[in-house]
Amino acid sequence: MLFNSIGYLFFLPVVVILYYLLPHQRRWVMLLAASYFFYLIWRVEFVLVLMTATAVSYYAALQMGKLPEKKQRVKYVVLTLLVNMGMLAVFKYLGFFAEIAGQVAGMFGQSRVIPSPGILLPIGISFYTFQTIGYTLDVYRGQIKPEKNIGIYALFVSFFPLILAGPIERGRRLIPQFHVRHDFDQQVFTSGLRLILWGLFKKIVIADRLAIFVQAIYSEPGYFHGVEIVIGIMLKMMQVYADFSGYTDIAIGSARLLGFKLSPNFNRPFSAQSVSAFWSRWHISLTSWLRDYVYFSLPYKFCGKPVNWRLNLNLLLTFVLVGFWHGPYWNFILFGFLHGAYMVLANISKPAMTTFNRISGLAGSPRLLKWLNITATFMLVCSTGFFFGQHPFGDSILMIRNLANFSHSGTSMVELLKNNDFVLGVLLIIFMLWFEYQVAVKSLAAKFLAKPVAVRFGAYVIMTVFILAFGVFSSQKFFYFQF
């Protein structure tokens, strides 16, 4: 069931109404049933994987809670990693490793082809696997106590607003909320509705409109050249942002209707002044998870002292993992590697850049320096867009080669500028970035809430009409569902 489907339009109100009609002690039962129903609609077999991940991590955490010392708990952490990461590896990465094994065998003159298993990827597995492992590691570290109610824990893993594509929640943040009674709060409820409406606007009106142009370029990379590819890559990053942040807004808004607070996943990433700052604003729940459970767990000392080269290596390895998490493709691995390399280079060159800014006078012009940093960061992020997708690696290389060719054009810029969908798409990007700036920096939400009810209701109606009039309803799935 998609957030932007007719089915969800009926599903969500029914769940919300039942939730507030039921006594507090029974609400979690209804939410668990609704979450499993929501997930069952995709494919019945997927539920078995979900239940296995839930049962193993619940059991491991419960056993660790009985043991006073960390060294006694290690075997249960290993159990969770073997089962949950094992399932993720089999369903998502087995085909990739089989392909590599076949290539290695070919290098040694072995003609036998290793078959690639055609295993269907359970939707949401990349997200709930990290969620269960994070919970287990928190219990292992003594940061939280294990949840004894298996139903509540199963709800934490399967909660329908986040099961498909996050945010990746922490047990210490979400599980206690299931034990607290949530009375109907009109302000919280209406804020949830606003988030859902804004998320639908970003997905249906902006992301799906941009996808028309992006898919044309990525499906025929040899046909487009020069400026067309530059525009296509920039639109790609904007499309992904509008799509995924739109999904996140709907997820957070849906949970808010029930009184739950989910973690933020985006914070105006295109205003970042460095690639490192970009990742502190983009897919925050993933990068913070990898920071806490991977980056900080890697060794960073040499001869007993912290050393920069180890920290930089850890950073590079973490972002290779970020890329690999997105999918078993060389494209994604290179995507993550480039982001890590950009951050490592920024760390290494920081003293030189500080000196350059001082000598050039840029340090005395902070506003100019800020916009130069934002522009440079945006260009670096967009440069990785060649590799962000499941298209063949050769197509990425072909687009990079054609990028330098401005002599040939499959579609002239004049024709592009005459395309109403393209012009509207660009205007909508500008509006989206401006609107989110006004909300975050200029307190637009507070000013809007101070308006009379008639004005606010009118704004909601206009937004709804705009979605119905200008939405692209041919493209349904959210971009991050493929992960």
**Res. 391: pLDDT tops 60:** yes
Which residues have CB under 8 Å from 277's CB, separation 6+? 377
Whole-number pLDDT of residue 407: 63
Residue 119: is its pLDDT beyond 80? no
pLDDT digits 0-9 by tens, 171-219: 999 999 999 999 999 989 999 999 999 999 999 999 988 888 888 888 8
Distance between terminal CA atoms of the chain?
16
User: pLDDT confidence of 312, banded at 50, 70, 90?
Assistant: confident
Residue 96 CB-half CA count within 13 A: 18
Q: How many residues does the chain have?
A: 483
Q: Which helix (H) or strand (E) holds 306?
A: strand 305-306
Is 158's pLDDT higher than 70? Answer: yes
- For 278-303, how does the pLDDT look when each residue is reduced to its tens digit (9 = 90+)? 999 999 999 999 999 998 888 776 56
Q: What is the pLDDT of residues 24-80, one digit of tens each?
A: 999 999 999 999 999 988 888 889 999 999 999 999 999 998 888 888 899 999 999
Q: Give the pLDDT band (50/70/90) at residue 92.
A: confident
Write down the pLDDT at residue 408. Answer: 56
Sequence-ordered list of residues with C-beta below 8 angstroms from that of 57, at least 6 positions apart, any chain: 80, 84, 132, 133, 135, 136, 157
Most confident of 103-117, 130-144, 399-413: 130-144
Joined together, the tokens standing for residue 1 give 């069931």
pLDDT of residue 482: 65
Domains of the chain by residue range: 6-183, 188-482
Residue 13 has pLDDT above 90, yes or no: yes
**Share of residues in the chain with pLDDT > 70 (%):** 91
> What pLDDT sits at residue 363?
84
Q: Is 339 marked active-site?
A: no
Cis peptide before 167 (omega within 30 of 0): yes
Region 259-282: what's the mean pLDDT? 94
What local confidence, expressed as pLDDT, does residue 98 receive? 74
This prediction's pTM: 0.90
Is pLDDT at 106 greater than 90 in this prediction?
Answer: no
Q: Which of 66-80, 112-126, 154-168 has the lowest mean pLDDT?
A: 112-126
Give phi and psi for 266, each to the nearest 5.
Answer: -140, 150
112 confidence band (pLDDT: 50, 70, 90): low
Listing DSSP states for 221-239 in one string gives TTT--THHHHHHHHHHHHH
User: What are the angstrom distances between the C-alpha of 211 and each of 42, 232, 271, 387?
Assistant: 24, 10, 22, 16
Tell me the average pLDDT across 439-459: 85
Residue of 326, 339, 391, 408 marked catalytic: 326
Task: Please name which of 453, 451, 464, 422 lies closest in space to residue 206, comparing C-alpha atoms.
Answer: 422
